[in-house]
Amino acid sequence: MREPFCTGHPSDGAYAEHRAQTIPFVSDHAYTPLMSIAVPKPLAGVPHPIPYQGSKRQLAHYIVSLFPVGTKRLVEPFAGSAAVSLAAGHMKRVGHWTINDLHRPLMDLWTEIVRNPDEISDKYESLWKAQLGDERAYYDRVRDRFNAHHHPEDFLYLLARCVKAAVRYNTRGEFNNSPDNRRLGAVPDTMRRHIMGASALLKGKSSLLSVDYREVLGSAKPGDLVYMDPPYQGVVDTQNHRYRHGVSFDDFVAALDGLRRKGIAFIVSYDGRTGTKRYGRSLPASLGLTHVEIPAGRSTQATLLGRDDSTFESLYLSPEINVGEARILVRRLISLSTISDATMKPCLTLSN
């Protein structure tokens, strides 16, 4: 296991640490991706109580716009900060949710936010105020207490204050990320507003779980939309603290095939690339999915090194999702070997 464990996505510095695990990006003529020419932007007004590295907050509006009309329930087996669920509620695209993450402390926190918003807000406020004047040492004391007892309010405080809001554990399973000493975390009034907003969207309409993703997929049925954002292959190994046996590529593909056979609509955030370097394996063309690449700006590492490498996140859409009906502006990538990140134009033609 890499120590410490971290979560992340292609635009995060964590990805740069794993460049040795990248593979050359080569066009697969059987599975040519579509390139989105829309640049996703965060949706204003959506409550986000949990800061979380790798959150899909930037892409959530775009992802929710793909949901088939009439979707009854959103199922998130790898929920994290539940950015897509919150956006879907804000946009009134679904009325019920199943929110799951195998990371138990995270789901304990979500349970408090959804069911006891006033109480968790009060506890966060007490922690936030108690740190003033002794911020660094206080953070360490809260971290020690969380590692001993896993109180949800302590976890929320740590995420609000730690570097990059990154969930990092050592080989003993102890949260070990350091505080960002430039900030104190969201002020209590702001945090309370986000907590109350999330609770208003989800309370009484959501099932909150912490089980294996395959168990959650087994309960999905036609009329649901399953959104999956599994741990990225380039960042997570098979001894991940949250996924102790890993998220096997073959098992994951088999699970997606099961959804296909049941006619259940799904969207998967998976792999990605920076420039011509891809992170992880693409999902196989045999699944019959539509692959869309979405521009996510310049990577953190490229910015630090003064390079112009652009980062792209991948979405895989099941056949139940009609790209035309969703009005996605996309272009078909025809020659990835000649990509110019500065212009993209020489490599693209309009899709049919």
Choose between 163 and 11: higher pLDDT: 163
Band (278; pLDDT cuts 50, 70, 90): confident
Is 33 a residue whose pLDDT tops 50? Answer: yes
Band (243; pLDDT cuts 50, 70, 90): very low
**Mean pLDDT value across residues 62-86:** 95
For the residues of 105-146, what is the DSSP string, one character each?
Answer: HHHHHHHHHHH-HHHHHHHHHHHHHHTTT-HHHHHHHHHHHH
Choose between 255 and 337: higher pLDDT: 255
DSSP 269: E
Residue 228: φ, ψ to 5°: -125, 130
Cα gap 303→163, rounded to integer Å: 18
Band (341; pLDDT cuts 50, 70, 90): very low
Is 335 a residue whose pLDDT tops 80? Answer: no
Is 237 a residue whose pLDDT tops 80? Answer: no
pLDDT of residue 303: 54
**Mean pLDDT value across residues 241-258:** 80
Is 196 a residue whose pLDDT tops 90? Answer: yes
Band (217; pLDDT cuts 50, 70, 90): very high
pLDDT of residue 327: 47
Q: Give the domain ranges of the chain.
A: 13-118+206-350
Choose between 323 and 160: higher pLDDT: 160
Mean residue pLDDT across the chain: 81
What is residue 215's three-state secondary structure?
Answer: helix
pLDDT of residue 298: 63
21-30, 75-84, 120-129, 289-298: lowest mean pLDDT where? 21-30
Cα gap 241→246, rounded to integer Å: 9
Q: What is the pLDDT of residues 257-272, one digit of tens each?
A: 999 999 999 999 987 7
Is 14 a residue whose pLDDT tops 70? Answer: no
pLDDT of residue 57: 85
State what percent of residues in the chain have pLDDT above 90.
61
Q: How far is CA 234 from CA 14, 62, 113, 193, in A?
A: 9, 24, 31, 35
pLDDT of residue 5: 32
Cα gap 277→272, rounded to integer Å: 9
Q: What is the pLDDT of residues 153-166, one digit of tens each?
A: 999 999 999 999 99
β-pairing, 23-24 vs 96-100, is: unpaired
**Mean pLDDT value across residues 24-40:** 59
Name the token pair of 196: 């109350």
Q: Which CATH class is domain 13-118+206-350?
A: alpha beta
Cα gap 101→79, rounded to integer Å: 5
pLDDT of residue 295: 83
Query: 267 has which bridge partners?
Result: 227, 317
Choose between 287 and 3: higher pLDDT: 287
**Mean pLDDT value across residues 44-50:** 96
Nearest CA to 34 out of 333, 320, 282, 274 is that of 333
DSSP 263: T
- The answer to whether residues 256 and 247 touch, using CB atoms and an 8 Å cutoff, is no
β-pairing, 34-36 vs 330-333, is: antiparallel
Is 311 a residue whose pLDDT tops 70? Answer: yes
pLDDT of residue 20: 28
